[in-house]
Structure 1
Amino acid sequence: MLLLTQCSMVPGTIIMQNDFEQAGQANPRPPEISDELAHSGNFSSKLTKEMAYGPTWGAKWEEAQQPRKLRVQAWVNLPNHHQKTAFVVEVVRNDTTRYWKTLSIHAVVKRFHQWEFVWKTFVLPHDVGPGDYIRVYLWQAGERQVLYLDDFTIEKVS
């Protein structure tokens, strides 16, 4: 019988990492950067009820180290299970979305008003290549609530 006592993710190559500390030090501080709650450091990204979209990262495929798989991970603090919040990974070619997948945060997080770690590995289309644009963003679909995001990382897994 095989017992797994510890599971860990295979480390990837970090493409983007944001703990929101640098933005928190800006003067003036961007309105979406908050010092109310933080998972690490003093600042996080705060989405309000008026905001459908949160932090966004994007790059051409070749500038993003030519990934075949991306891991998106972050710490989130949600008020309840009513909102439909997701990280979206999108691949665009010639102004046409050809890949659109989500990490449904509301389906993963089971505890509220505390920091929860979420992650997902996305397998990009087999023919992704030069000229394709990859975009990763946080999206509040439907009912919007105040939520916090911190330590947002995107890794190339392969």
Structure 2
Amino acid sequence: MLMSNDFDHLDGWVGDAASLIREQAHSGAYSVVVKPGTDYSLGYSNPLGRLSAARPDKIRISAWVMRTGGPQAAMLVVEIKDPATGAKILWDGLDLGKKVSKLNEWQHIDHVIEVPPTVSANSRIMVYMWTAGANQPTYLDDLTVSPVTD
């Protein structure tokens, strides 16, 4: 496992602290939310080499998500950036409306991302939720980032 967080421990997380809430949680006392006025959740940011000794070819993102309504859904975003220039090497936005079909109920999601060959140990990985125009709250908890070992 590269990283796991239940939002009760925030080491490595940066961003809009207004997204950290106690109203809903899959486990523990906290989760993060995006909603009108809070476009981005707290985000995880770290050099990939601090999370894994070997360069992974694929990364699995797992989490518990609860959507509360509306046809437009938030996205779970994974970015990997070049350490020297800050340029995006990878941007992957998972449409939570397609992955989370039930409303007002926690559902587990699992998403695999292929890591481009240009990614190095110094490349920065970022994981966060974005409203993407959704007008109803979307909650995220128990996020895990791990290498895929086939």
* TM-score normalised by the chain length of structure 1: 0.78
Identity rate, percent: 29
Q: Show the 5 A alignment for 1:5-154.
A: 14-22=1-9, 31-65=18-52, 66-93=55-82, 94-154=85-145
| Counterpart code for 1:112 | L
Residue 71 of structure 1: how far off its partner (Å)? 0.9
Secondary structure at the aligned position of 2:25 is classed as coil
Structure of higher CA gyration radius: 1
| Moved beyond 3 Å, runs of 4+ | none
Residue-by-residue CA offset, 1:49-85 (whole Å, 9 max, x unaligned): 1111113112112222132211111111111142331
Residue 86 of structure 1: how far off its partner (Å)? 1.3
Residue 152 of structure 1: how far off its partner (Å)? 1.2
Change (3 A) 1:128 1:45: same
* TM-score normalised by the chain length of structure 2: 0.81
Q: Which runs of 5+ in 1 are unaligned?
A: 1-13, 24-29
Structure-1 separation of matches of 2:132 and 2:23: 24
In the comparison of the two structures, how many residue pairs are matched? 139
Residue-by-residue CA offset, 1:3-60 (whole Å, 9 max, x unaligned): xxxxxxxxxxx2221112246xxxxxx5433222221223222333111111311211
CA RMSD after TM alignment: 1.9
